[in-house]
Structure 1
Amino acid sequence: MKELFSHRLKRHQKQMMRYLRYVFNDHFVLACTFLLGGVGLYYSDLVKGLPKGFLPGKIVVVLVLVLSLHLGEFVSLAKPADIVFLLPKEAQMKDFLKRALRYSCLFPFAVLLLVAGFLMPLYVVSTRQSFWAFFPVVLLLWALKLAHLYLRRYQLFQGPWLYKRSYRLWLVASAVLLALSLFTPVTALVGGILLALISREFLFKRVKQPLDWDKLVVTENRRLQRIYRFINLFTDVPQIATAVKRRKYLDGLLALIPKDQGHSYLYLFSHRLLRGTEFGGLYARLVGIGAVLLYFVTERWFSVGIGCLFLYLIGFQLVPLYNQFQYMILTQLYPLPEKQKERALQQLLTGLLMLAAVLFALVGSFAYDNWLDRAWLLGSFVLFAGLFSTLYLPARLKKMRRLSGAYL
């Protein structure tokens, strides 16, 4: 079992490294640097202006730390075929899951370290503790996350009612210990270590129930699909499973498109966007995240930069709509010119980007009292959306046609 997990882990890491080359490209790294620099500057100025013993800061620290404990899932690397081929080896699966638990700690421990480091200035100002409290707080977070991973592993066994009760107990204990860490970090750390040891004893060593193989496979597949959806923001992922939902309440938008030959591709693209979970969900998430960030930014040029960045991400991620019907036989048989396909995508993206630009301008305007600043936001966003649709999009589609022609 140890060799099996090591083999699967190597294949999984190799696959992830191949995709991460496209995720951490120059554009993304530059955008993250720009965004983190602005957020860091704003956060630094905010913390400097807070009084000592700031009570709302304590509440924010506890809430953020409790939420951050849910980052990172149990990585089982289970396959659908395991239900058949590994069932006779169920008695030996504990060794497999033990190694899986160790690997599952790497990512959340690293994330919790970063979160604790980011919150530490607010923690020091709000609690009047020294920066040395960083170390017991980080160890406390690791202990609580370890207990959470024991709990997530226990969920893969039969007996879900025990899992729900155990999760509530873990959540309450974590909130209490994190609140206690605001006053006595070392005492809270001791409590966190005890919680991890108790979880290991009752949720790991003494588990006698059989494995729920279906849940094991489904849980791992959901975890991978979340990763693939994130990677799909940057490149195409063949492994992603796309779902289609009826969404009858959006039929009125499709009814606005004329039902004639000249608007065939516009109807197909719009239908795919509204009823598919991939592109529609992507558009909604990016618009929502961009709007939330703009709501808290008060610097005009920084707001313009963030808004244009998210408009670029929205347009860039929706361009693959162009190839959605490339291998659909009916679009090949029906005499539709290629220019209509390009024009339809350009019309759709122009409308979506203009809608996002207006929403960004409306949300960003709450931070300004001057109508000139609000006009700057709206004009900048609309101008960027227009330039993307008229300059960048045709060049990108030309490159995609050349690449698809080379593969064919």
Structure 2
Amino acid sequence: MDRSLETLRQRRAAAWRKETVPYIRYMGRSGFPGFAALAVLSGLIGYIAFLGRVPPDFPITAVGTAALLPFLAWSPLRSFLVPADTVFLMPRESGMRAYLLPAARAGITLSYLLLLAALVVYAPLYRQGAAPTWWPLIAIAFIPLKAANAWAAWSERRMAWPSARRLYRLLRWAATALVLAALLSQPLWKSALFGMLASAALAAAYRLPAKHRFPWERLIEEEAGARRRRYRFFGTFIDVPASGEASAARRPYLTWMAAGLKFQRSNAYTYLYARTLFRTELGGIVLRLTALGMLTAALTGRARLLNGWGAAAAGFLFVVLTSVQLGALSRAHRHSVWRHVYPLPESQREASLLAVVRGALAGSAALMWLSLALTLAPAGNDIPVGTALLAYMVYSFKILPARFKRKLAKERNDDLGVSDK
């Protein structure tokens, strides 16, 4: 085993930890950990209350599959590779196993521990149903399933064509969901047999696509994406350095809204920030939070948690979380030189930025409220539905703009070197 390559990765991992420690401190001082702990505590209290009165027709298996699948199928791999490695490390490709093996072990261990924690939380709800298998045995059965997903994820990284990679990832997630659903609803021997058959079929299918011996470009892309995501998260608390080039997504189902703006001077910044939101990772984060908020509101509404008030509160929590993420849009193009070249006033930029953030949050909140209303209104819980609509819109059009204006003023003073004291 090439110890020099293993040592190189250890040095890079230590350098990354040293680089991010200051940002973690700033995040800790911001009050975000307390907010997250309060949200988790509130969720646990509502969950415990829900366990006391689970409806007979509640989809326990479907909820468990949806909750556990991301942790089971997710196979992270922090390689810390950079573009220059395709020149300086490629001649040592035969020894790269020593470089990646610790990263693979760390990724599998982390995701399995998160999976185990999710299973422990889900176990009380699982016991409310048929529960054909003792849940610690399910935790043991997750070990080969997790290993199979890690092997398949590595094979996907090696695939030469992105379309094949996406197709096989979709197949893997779908097959894992079916095996997981069988494991939660059938006796262990039946689900184990089904899992082995599904694994054998996928293993045969994974031999078909063309593969690279070592996926240099894919690993470098994943590492750059991991850094961008972490820096974007830290960017909601403090200024952070840019990390490589931002990736762009097409998302034609969203970008048509920006294309519909009138071609005139007053819409220049609106178009810019709308396209930035729709086509960058920030837009993906907002979409995922919106979808998760809709699902949470629907599930808690279906469970009649606190007579519908629990669902309204859960939706409001996701509205707040979405607004926190949207705050990162103010850092886009903040230090661009062209802002001082083109004859567009700074006040117009801030007004357009606020309009895009406000519109995005209002649209996200409206979708969450719609999911809530479709669940609660047929049951006659009109007061929580009406209150939720009022609260979501007041936050989107009143509270958020006031907070965002203060944020922009602080950033303006920071750029000018003016102290708040």
Q: TM-score under structure 2 normalisation? A: 0.73
Equivalent position of 2:106 in the other structure: 103
Residue 391 in structure 1 maps to residue 402 in structure 2: yes
Gap change, CA 1:388 and 1:241, over 3 Å in 2: farther
Whether the aligned pair in 1 keeps the contact of 2:46 and 2:310 (CA below 8 Å) is: no
> Mapping of 1:264-279 within 5 angstroms?
264-274=268-278, 276-279=279-282
Residue 292 in structure 1 maps to residue 300 in structure 2: no
* Secondary structure of 1:242's aligned partner: coil
> Mapping of 1:7-406 within 5 angstroms?
7-22=11-26, 27-50=31-54, 56-58=59-61, 60-61=63-64, 64-128=67-131, 133-155=134-156, 179=182, 210-225=213-228, 227-228=230-231, 238-239=242-243, 241-244=245-248, 247=252, 250=255, 253-257=258-262, 259-260=264-265, 262-274=266-278, 276-298=279-301, 299=306, 300-366=308-374, 367-368=376-377, 369-406=380-417
Give the residue type in structure 2 aligned to 1:47.
Answer: L
* Secondary structure of 2:293's aligned partner: helix
Aligned residue pairs, count:
393
Give the residue type in structure 2 aligned to 1:340.
Answer: Q
In 1, distance between residues paired with 2:253 and 2:366? 26
Give the residue type in structure 2 aligned to 1:358.
Answer: A
Q: Which moved more, 1:307-316 or 1:152-161?
A: 152-161
* Secondary structure of 2:81's aligned partner: coil
Gap change, CA 1:308 and 1:191, over 3 Å in 2: closer
Gap change, CA 1:259 and 1:180, over 3 Å in 2: closer
Give the residue type in structure 1 aligned to 2:119.
Answer: A
Q: Which moved more, 1:55-64 or 1:37-46?
A: 55-64
Q: Calculate percent identity across the aligned residue pairs.
A: 23
Whether the aligned pair in 2 keeps the contact of 1:74 and 1:149 (CA below 8 Å) is: no
Whether the aligned pair in 2 keeps the contact of 1:295 and 1:363 (CA below 8 Å) is: yes
In 2, distance between residues paired with 1:404 and 1:6? 37
1:333-370 CA distances to partner (integer Å, 9 max, x unpaired)? 34444333333333333333333443333332221324
Root-mean-square deviation (Å): 4.5
Flag structure 1 segments of 5+ consecutive residues without an equivalent.
Answer: 197-202, 204-208
Gap change, CA 1:143 and 1:19, over 3 Å in 2: farther
Gap change, CA 1:253 and 1:192, over 3 Å in 2: closer
How much has 1:117 moved relative to structure 2?
Answer: 0.5
Whether the aligned pair in 2 keeps the contact of 1:361 and 1:378 (CA below 8 Å) is: yes
How much has 1:118 moved relative to structure 2?
Answer: 1.2
Equivalent position of 2:209 in the other structure: none
Gap change, CA 1:129 and 1:51, over 3 Å in 2: farther
* Secondary structure of 1:125's aligned partner: coil
* Secondary structure of 1:312's aligned partner: helix
* Secondary structure of 2:264's aligned partner: coil
Gap change, CA 1:334 and 1:60, over 3 Å in 2: closer
How much has 1:382 moved relative to structure 2?
Answer: 1.9
Q: Which moved more, 1:246-255 or 1:360-369?
A: 246-255
Q: TM-score under structure 1 normalisation? A: 0.75
* Secondary structure of 2:76's aligned partner: coil
Equivalent position of 1:206 in the other structure: none
In 1, distance between residues paired with 2:350 and 2:230? 30
1:11-70 CA distances to partner (integer Å, 9 max, x unpaired)? 233344444445556543344334333433343344333599x99534654565454311
In 2, distance between residues paired with 1:166 and 1:335? 47
Q: Which moved more, 1:333-342 or 1:100-109?
A: 333-342
Gap change, CA 1:27 and 1:290, over 3 Å in 2: farther
Whether the aligned pair in 1 keeps the contact of 2:132 and 2:188 (CA below 8 Å) is: no
In 2, distance between residues paired with 1:172 and 1:349? 38
Bigger-Rg structure (1/2): 1
How much has 1:184 moved relative to structure 2?
Answer: 6.4
1:149-207 CA distances to partner (integer Å, 9 max, x unpaired)? 24434555579999x999979986996588458676699899999x99xxxxxx9xxxx
Give the residue type in structure 2 aligned to 1:243.
Answer: S
Whether the aligned pair in 1 keeps the contact of 2:69 and 2:176 (CA below 8 Å) is: no
Whether the aligned pair in 2 keeps the contact of 1:181 and 1:187 (CA below 8 Å) is: no
Gap change, CA 1:382 and 1:18, over 3 Å in 2: same
Whether the aligned pair in 2 keeps the contact of 1:229 and 1:240 (CA below 8 Å) is: no
